[in-house]
Amino acid sequence: MPLPLRIERTAPDAQREQYRITLGKVAQGLIVRKGESWERGVFAVGDVEPRLPEKGLAVRVATPRIDADAWKNFLPEGATGGADNGGLALNVVTLKTPQLRLFERDYNQVDVSLRPRDSGWQIGLNTREAVGEVFWRSSGEGWVEGNFKRLIVRPATEATDDASSLINTLPGMSLSVDDFHLGEKALGRLELKARNDKGAWHLDTLNLENPDGALKGKGVWTQGLRPQTRLDFELTAKDIGKLVDRLGYGDTVRRGKAKLTGDLQWNGPLTGIHYPSLTGQLAVEAEKGQFNKLEPGVGKLLGLISLQSLPRRLTLDFRDIFSDGLAFDSIESKLSIRKGIMRTVEPLRISGPAAQVEMRGETDLKAETQDLQVVVRPELGGLAAVGAAALVNPAIGAAALLANTVLQKPLNRLFSYRYHVTGTWADPLVDKAGESVQEVKPEPEDASKPMESKP
């Protein structure tokens, strides 16, 4: 059943006419005409007062839900503040709603105002997810300039497979955010600059900084027969433990500093890595930290690196070294990636007070499997290592300590063990490959020899 439309005409004074328009209980309008021109007007939708602006046309909306994506293409590309043909120029749009759909994202408890500026729109945002000012111009390749006190970006509820179309619609942008969140993760201050140039979206600047670390990056997302993304980055951690906790991996590492650099490319959009085509280089350095005891299913790759998944599969008793968390003085490696397979260019070396670990081989990042050769050298060179000998004979203990120091820790090499690790990150298969040097055992005494008499 159509809504009833009603129009009332009144004359507030000799020069003006006023028209009041109502469409049932859904919308109402008020337009003032002076002579041959419309002076000002307002249209109100929902539970909002039709308050007249000082000039031009105002649109005020207050409804339980607004789908701005369905309406944004109908907005003019800015306004001139007047109209040569006697009509009204759109001057301001205000939106109040518990839920707003905009740019394929949902925003809650929304209070938004839009005003024309420089052939575009100045947008004031005050929502649960975003507080700040945005300038938006849709002409040309498009441009977005934003300054936010807070911005929470949640994953899009609908994914698109048309990467080429998405590149064409992405505008250039310059964003500054004091408090940036990706979902539930508080990531700190964000600076982002990008441009859309002939079907390629160039990420010229990406800076993300918080008290625990910083990310710097740049890249490009190109279209064509096969859309491709390239990304160069440097991630530094002032405190590894606090940074990985901030990223959602819980209490997996304590303390430590680190730097991870990479040059990566893959087929597909910037918004998600396509592991079967992922190619590039990585370099990692870390120092002065400790892997915490990990719960099953948490930090599967960290669990593999820290060897916590190995003790229950080893005949040797390394539980005191790995199970409760491996402390490290340094970690370093250089890695290559080709079609989603990551290989060691230089071995992953972990040096710590309890053990030296060296890993070589490859891991499938998509399937989360590995084929690794692991060498474990328990640290036996300190006072604790020769403590037993010292208890038996102080002279032997002192000699062992001196020899181990002068000869560059031969005891460590004496007790070196090799393992072949396959299977998955969550459930590795470990085969003992043998010791690099067999433990030297004392020869049995010859029973035919007479025992020496002691004084």
Burial of residue 65 (CB within 10 Å: 0-12, 13-18, 19+) is exposed
Q: Would you say the pTM of this structure is higher than 0.75? A: yes
Element (H, E) at 300: helix 300-305
The answer on pLDDT for 35 being more than 70 is yes
Element (H, E) at 305: helix 300-305
Least confident of 81-95, 150-164, 178-192, 403-417: 403-417
Residue range(s) defining the domain that contains residue 104: 1-139
pLDDT confidence bin for 93, thresholds 50/70/90: very high
pLDDT confidence bin for 293, thresholds 50/70/90: low
Gyration radius (Cα) of the chain, Å = 34
Contact by Cβ (8 Å): 306, 295: no
Q: Which of 373-376's residues contact partners 24+ apart within 8 Å by CB, and which partners?
A: 373/418, 373/419, 373/420, 373/421, 373/433, 374/307, 374/310, 374/418, 374/419, 374/420, 374/421, 375/416, 375/417, 375/418, 375/419, 375/436, 376/307, 376/318, 376/416, 376/417, 376/418, 376/419
Task: Answer yes or no: is 277 within a domain.
Answer: no
**Helices assigned H by DSSP within 55-184:** 163-169
* Segment 47-77, tens digit of pLDDT: 999 999 989 999 999 999 988 777 766 666 5
Task: Answer yes or no: is 147 within a domain.
Answer: no
User: Residue 110's CB: how many other CB atoms inside 10 A?
Assistant: 22
Q: Is 126 helix (H, G, I), strand (E, B) or coil?
A: strand
User: Residue 455's CB: how many other CB atoms inside 10 A?
Assistant: 2
User: How many domains does the chain divide into?
Assistant: 1
Q: Is 194 helix (H, G, I), strand (E, B) or coil?
A: strand
Task: Answer yes or no: is 393 within a domain.
Answer: no
Task: Answer yes or no: is 264 within a domain.
Answer: no
Task: Answer yes or no: is 49 within a domain.
Answer: yes
Q: List the beta strands (DSSP E) in 270-427.
A: 279-291, 327-338, 341-351, 355-364, 369-378, 417-423
Task: Answer yes or no: is 320 within a domain.
Answer: no
